Every structure is written in C-alpha cells, then in structure tokens.
Amino acid sequence: MEHLCRINWKEIKNKKELEKEIIDWCDKNYSDINDLKRVDVLTLIETHNLSENSKLSYDQESGFSKIEITIDAKVFYGIKSKWNLTFNFPEFGEHCISLLISRNYGEIRKEDFYNYTHDITIA
C-alpha cells in the first residue's frame, strides 16, 4: 500500500528537508531528486490535493516541461509563507532533471506579529 501518509508541509523548515521529504514520500529507494519520475510528481499532486495550486507548462525554446506547485509553509513569527516548487523534465524523458525550491513570505502585519510574540504562557 503506497502513499498512505501525507507530507506535513507546515513542519518543514528548509529546502533540504523539503527535498528529502519528497524523495522519502515516493518510497522507491530513490537516492536524489533526479530519480523522481513525472508520474511520481503527478501522484504527489493528486494525493495531497494540490491540483488547484499546480500548473503544468512547456517551454518550446528549452524543450523542458515544468510542473509548478505552490504549497502553504510554516508560519514564521506570525508571517505566512508558501513553498514554490518547480520540477523540470526533458521533452523526451521521464526523470526530473532539476527541482527549484523557493519560499515566499507574506507581509508582516503588526497585529499578527504582536499576537504571535505576546502569546507566551508561563506554566
């Protein structure tokens, strides 16, 4: 039974950990991101209900097809953030040739920051 578990995106702290979680989730003894296949990424999208936050595109000049995914990430001191993943695949091949990961942070709202920093309870 494959893919019973889901990745908890909001607990991931950095790019390296995110990449490792994706590889481990595939559960096929992959050693790095280049072992991922297009079907693995599409299964990831389907299993985690990310189709609304995903985009498939093809660049004719480079011959690459891209799968872009935007995922909510961990809140950082009251600031919301999102992971942006871009998987690149060659035109005639199924293995991922690169994964670009970036993290975008939202605006700092004074109320959220105040609530986050002052929500400390002393036992």
What's the predicted TM-score (pTM) here? 0.80
- Cα(67)–Cα(75) distance, rounded to whole angstroms? 25
- Cα(115)–Cα(119) distance, rounded to whole angstroms? 6
Contact 67, 89 (CB under 8 A): yes
* pLDDT of the residue at 123: 44
114 pLDDT above the threshold of 60? yes
44 pLDDT above the threshold of 50? yes
pLDDT digits over 52-68, tens only?
A: 999 999 988 888 899 99
pLDDT digits over 4-36, tens only?
A: 688 888 889 899 999 999 998 887 788 889 899
For the record, the structure tokens of 16 come out as 């390296």
- Which alpha helices (DSSP H) does the chain contain, by range? 15-26, 38-47, 110-117
- Cα(94)–Cα(53) distance, rounded to whole angstroms? 22
CA-derived radius of gyration, the chain: 17
